[in-house]
Amino acid sequence: MKRFLRIINHYLAFFLLAAFLVTCCIMLFTSTLMNSLGITLTGENLETAAKLTFGNVLLLSLLFTVVDIIRRKMTVDRTARRIAEAARKIVAGDFSVRVPLPSRMGSSEGFREIVDCFNEMAQELSGVETLRTDFISNVSHEMKTPLAAMNNYGRLLQAPGLPEEKRMEYARGIADHSRRLADMITNILKLSRLENQQIFPKGERFNLGEQLCEALLQFENIWERENIEIETDIAEDIMVHLDRELLSLVWNNLLSNAFKFTPAGGKISLSLTADESHALVKIQDSGCGMSPETGAHIFEKFYQGDTSHATRGNGLGLALVKRVVDIVHGEITVESELGRGSIFTVKVKRA
């Protein structure tokens, strides 16, 4: 019924428009003809002309209405129906749906822009949903160990007559595992977002050497406490045009790993060199190193080749590093040997 009333309204609108235009044109034409040729029209002539004109207006209005209905069906209703169907699927939880772009010949640029925005929204929603499920899956699996340890320490703290030394030890264990859990959740969120959402790096020009020095200084208390020798060879005025925040994740994680695996009295080297097109960052440690089998998996999520250091990490740092390096279109390689340490090399474009 509503559709029928809509068609009637369209028809009446075209009828009134056509009647107005045709009447004005005929009156102007008749007036000009009578004045130019001196013709006098009789009532019978006017009546016949009016009937013919009215019939023509009815037919023209009907023709315009049919053409407009077909046009709307092809250019408006079809696209609107596709968008509505896709929206219903998204509401139902299907974030893989996409609306095909209407042809340029059959639709306005406005509709193409709406479809583009809708598809972009669906893609972002899909990434958010994947992030959520991935986060829940990973956290539910990986959080069991620290939670179990915290629960055990909590039970031990409840023992009556517990010596102060033991009480401090158990409290420190709870604090360490809670910190590990917090770090793990933070890294999972970062990594899931980098993997499952479209990231647009915010490029800015900055001095790479200064950023490396700032990252290294964050670990000053560690190298002083562990008596670790620091060797730096950082070229000056090496500028890059990259996402500063993303790149800082790379240096922080690589340096954190270097300090984690370097024993007291060891050595860590940081160097920055460059050619005309690329900057090369090397971070070397004198730690335990790794076997070729371990090296083949170090960029995988939750992989920890050295289980003796598992309580100090969660196997996400290098996966995060690899993803960031890929996003900024760089390269990362590792050279390592058991008992002789590792060298991580990151190559990025210069500004």
Rounded to whole angstroms, how far apart are CA atoms 9 and 57?
Answer: 16
Q: What are the pLDDT digits (tens) for 284-311?
A: 999 888 877 776 668 765 555 544 444 4
Q: What are the pLDDT digits (tens) for 48-93?
A: 766 777 777 777 777 777 777 777 777 777 778 888 888 888 888 7
Contacts of 14 (CB under 8 A, 6+ apart): 60, 61, 64, 65, 68
pTM of this structure = 0.51
| Nearest Cα to Cα of residue 287 among 313, 308, 267, 309 | 267
**Mean pLDDT for the stretch of residues 38-50:** 67
Give the type of residue at 292: P
Contacts of 96 (CB under 8 A, 6+ apart): 122, 126
Phi-psi group of 5: left, alpha or beta (phi > 0 → left; psi -120 to 50 → alpha; rest → beta): alpha
Q: For residue 50, give both structure tokens.
A: 């009016």
Q: What are the pLDDT digits (tens) for 121-135?
A: 887 777 666 656 655
**Mean pLDDT for the stretch of residues 236-258:** 89
Work out the angle at residue 59's Cα, subtended by the Cα atoms of residues 53 and 60, and round it to the nearest 5 degrees.
85
